Structure 1
Amino acid sequence: MNDRVTPARHPGAVSVLGGPTTVIDIGGLRLVADPTFDDPGEHGYLTKTAGPAAAEDDLGRVDAVLVSHDLHPDNLDTRGRAFALGTPLVLTGPAAARRLGPPAQALPLWESVEIPRPSGGTVAVHAVPAQHGPDDGERDEQGHVNCEVTGFVLSGDGLPTVYVSGDNASLAVVAEVARRMPPVDVAVLFVGAARVPSKMRGRPLTLTAQRASAAAAVLGSPVVVAAHCDGWAHFSEGRSDIERAFDDAGLARRLRTAGNGEWIDLGRPVATR
């Protein structure tokens, strides 16, 4: 399956547009995670090296946007913010929801929101933790490393369970998600080993390729999609590093790859844990 993203929807598919921006068609709904649509260039202390594989109009109607966090331009840039606020619903953490305003809705950790499906039933969106840096990283007054970040788990009757990690560097967090949530059929992992010299002594702020393969093993997910690994200069590992790490771990068959803007069919996988 390698057709490109258009307004036409798929029964169940994922497409990474570049950076973290991921389109998820599930249960007749279209959701977009962490929209970034700005052109390449300088964005404060970060440098964007490539634009998205699809523009806002290419996506057609979107039912909801999932924002892992709003404070970093590689996860929500200027056009991405405008795009999100033009959709019916934005789900994000409480602090981000206050900053973004309507239609952003706060989704505290371990709580969920149900979005009606066109054919009946719902897709439940659960908020799960994400830790944007190492375990010993400096924490703010709310206990967040770097900033508040939210991951998401999508589920519904007859649908694959999909985990969107957000910017997370912690395997302990992944293990907690695996323990508390239904078995994850599809894991969209934000990888790239993002490094910023002024933060956490330049240590990874997101999953390294090796930790991503370990996360896949912990989750038992038969389908893994890597996002957040290209398009920005501070991503220190790319797709070849991720493919090598999954091969080294004996998990190469779980990693699904496609060009940016191309669909990956989810089918009806069953988690192995």
Structure 2
Amino acid sequence: MSEILTTGLFRQESAITVLGGPTAVIDLGGLRIVSDPTFDNAGPHGYLTKTADPAVDEDGVGRADLVLVSHDTHPDNLDERGRAFAKAAPLVLTGPLAAGRLGSPAVGLTPWASHSVPRADGDGDLTVLAVPAVHGPEDGERDADGNVNCEVTGFVLSGQGLPTVYLSGDNASIRTVAEISRRVPDVGVAVLNAGAARVPAKFDGRPLSLDSRTAAAAAAVLGVDTVVPAHYDGWAHFSEGLSEIELAFHEAGLSPVLRVVPHGTWIQLAR
């Protein structure tokens, strides 16, 4: 079945749903994977403002088998309830700096390092590959660790008989997407953070994540069959929304690959 229970989400064989903001639930290989959990209610969160509650809360999602955290330093990607949800999981994969701050059960992966997770369906392992992300313009000032804005990690999920899924995290760099495409040529599904996040005080207000046109360009570079847009609503600092994303994919001739459904609704993935 692929319907939503009033109290939660049915487990799927191979599917993705976005809950709002960056938070996605991916069911693959018998595992429930949750990326960038954000479950706090709408309202001020430091210098950012959340404008909508998640479509499904942590109780509705249930216990995750694996949590992916692209970065832990911004409340729109990991909030207080999301942090508690992640800490309750058996495994969190993130970047090395974030893992040091989060502590157990977080494991830090440098770009191009991978971690194998036994699949609950008994068909081998799910491989999680950490990939780079640039949280701002290519020419943005780098910190002492070489990061623009902060350390951000994207992920590629793969396994025998499973679709290969790329989760961009807050990446604004097409050059980085091109490198991922060269190294992982079989990506079939991309979850792209595409809201053109902007903070006036940072990088002259330039986008900190993909905008609609660079998201369409990323889809073309990757050659994917399915794009699931994320992180384009629910927060006040997004400068583009769903209408801009749909127009950009239409103008690029890529509307057939864009999958847009209400938050909390499953998108079934082909093997």
- Structure 1: runs of 5 or more not aligned: 269-273
Paired positions, count:
268
1:104 is matched with 106
What are the Cα deviations for residues 184-239 of structure 1, in whole angstroms up to 9, with x where unaligned? 11000011000000101110000000000000000000100000000000001001
2:147 is matched with 144
User: 2: distance between equivalents of 1:136 and 1:23?
Assistant: 33
1:45 is matched with 47
1:157 is matched with 160
Percent sequence identity is 65
1:17 counterpart SS class: strand
User: 1: distance between equivalents of 2:108 and 2:265?
Assistant: 31
Give the residue type in structure 2 aligned to 1:160. Answer: P
What are the Cα deviations for residues 53-92 of structure 1, in whole angstroms up to 9, with x where unaligned? 0010111221010000000000000110011001100000
2:4 counterpart SS class: coil
What are the Cα deviations for residues 132-159 of structure 1, in whole angstroms up to 9, with x where unaligned? 0001111101110000000000000010
TM-score when scaled to structure 2? Answer: 0.97
What are the Cα deviations for residues 220-267 of structure 1, in whole angstroms up to 9, with x where unaligned? 001000000000000010011100000000000000011011111112
CA contact (8 A) 2:3 2:10 kept: no
1:180 is matched with 183
2:232 is matched with 229
Moved more, 174-183 or 192-201: 174-183
Give the residue type in structure 2 aligned to 1:104. Answer: A
2:207 paired with 1:204: yes
- Structure 2: runs of 5 or more not aligned: none
What are the Cα deviations for residues 104-131 of structure 1, in whole angstroms up to 9, with x where unaligned? 0111110111111122211100000000
User: 1: distance between equivalents of 2:159 and 2:126?
Assistant: 5
1:256 counterpart SS class: coil
How much has 1:3 moved relative to structure 2?
2.3
Which aligned pairs between 1:247-258 and structure 2 lie closer than 5 A?
Answer: 247-258=250-261
Change (3 A) 1:247 1:2: farther
How much has 1:8 moved relative to structure 2?
2.4
1:271 is matched with none
CA contact (8 A) 1:7 1:61 kept: no
User: 1: distance between equivalents of 2:260 and 2:121?
Assistant: 30
Give the residue type in structure 2 aligned to 1:175. Answer: A
User: 1: distance between equivalents of 2:219 and 2:70?
Assistant: 20
Two-structure CA RMSD over aligned residues (Å): 1.1
2:4 is matched with 4
Give the residue type in structure 2 aligned to 1:161. Answer: T
User: 2: distance between equivalents of 1:267 and 1:123?
Assistant: 16
How much has 1:27 moved relative to structure 2?
0.9
1:65 is matched with 67
Corresponding residue to 1:15 among 12, 17, 20: 17
User: 2: distance between equivalents of 1:125 and 1:119?
Assistant: 16
1:168 counterpart SS class: coil
1:85 is matched with 87
2:179 counterpart SS class: helix
1:124 is matched with 127
Give the residue type in structure 2 aligned to 1:67. Answer: V
TM-score when scaled to structure 1? Answer: 0.96
User: 2: distance between equivalents of 1:98 and 1:116?
Assistant: 24
